[in-house]
């Protein structure tokens, strides 16, 4: 596949991620902050997000597994996850966290467990998508091409 084709493939894939709501405008902000002096900025921040999320999801699983659930603690974890997903533009994870926090307030354990499941699913989905995106980027760079600049107009929303 030649560079032009790869770049188009990257653009199409990126566009689909925005259209399907996996990513929002904040992700574009991250891409805009990346430049020749900070070429790995997006990958670095997203990798941190993966690490952070995995830790938080583990903590949440543990906290909800207790006989006496500490909803304050659960809410604190979800608040953190909501913050970091919002910061990188992982929209569906963020929205799942918002629902989750509502049920924490109600101290509804069953609903919280369902929310946790939902958050885990959304996290897995966006993780796979982003890893695919980064792989496409690596392929482009490997053949000497450059990653297209993302304009909001191209994302048709």
Residue 17 CA: distances (Å) to CA of 20, 23, 104, 145, 152: 5, 6, 29, 22, 13
For the bound state, the minimum distance from the C-beta of residue 137 to another protein, rounded and expressed in Å, comes to 18
Residue 26 in the binding site for another protein (CB under 8 A): yes
Residue 41 in the binding site for another protein (CB under 8 A): yes
For the bound state, the minimum distance from the C-beta of residue 126 to another protein, rounded and expressed in Å, comes to 15
DSSP-derived letter for residue 152 is G
For another protein, what does the binding mask look like between residues 61 and 100, x meaning CB under 8 A?
------------------xx-xxx-xxxx-----------
**Among residues 52, 73, 118, 145, which is the contact residue for another protein, using CB under 8 A?**
52
Q: Is 90 helix (H, G, I), strand (E, B) or coil?
A: strand
**Among residues 33, 124, 141, 143, which is the contact residue for another protein, using CB under 8 A?**
33
CA trace torsion 25, 40, 16, 112 (10° rounding): -70
* Structural contact between residues 150 and 9, judged by C-beta atoms closer than 8 angstroms: no
């Amino acid at each position: 596949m030649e560079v032009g084709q790869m770049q188009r493939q990257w653009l199409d894939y990126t566009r689909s991620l925005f259209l399907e709501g996996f990513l929002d405008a904040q992700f574009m902000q991250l891409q805009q902050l990346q430049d020749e002096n900070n070429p790995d900025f997006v990958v670095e921040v997203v990798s941190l997000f993966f690490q952070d999320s995995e830790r938080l999801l583990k903590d949440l699983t543990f906290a909800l597994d207790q006989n006496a659930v500490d909803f304050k603690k659960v809410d604190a974890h979800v608040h953190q996850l909501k913050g970091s997903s919002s910061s990188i533009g992982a929209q569906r994870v963020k929205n799942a966290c918002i629902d989750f926090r509502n049920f924490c307030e109600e101290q509804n354990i069953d609903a919280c467990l369902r929310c946790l499941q939902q958050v885990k699913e959304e996290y897995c989905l966006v993780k796979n998508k982003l890893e695919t995106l980064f792989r496409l980027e690596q392929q482009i760079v490997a053949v000497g091409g450059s990653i297209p600049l993302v304009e909001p107009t191209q994302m048709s929303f």
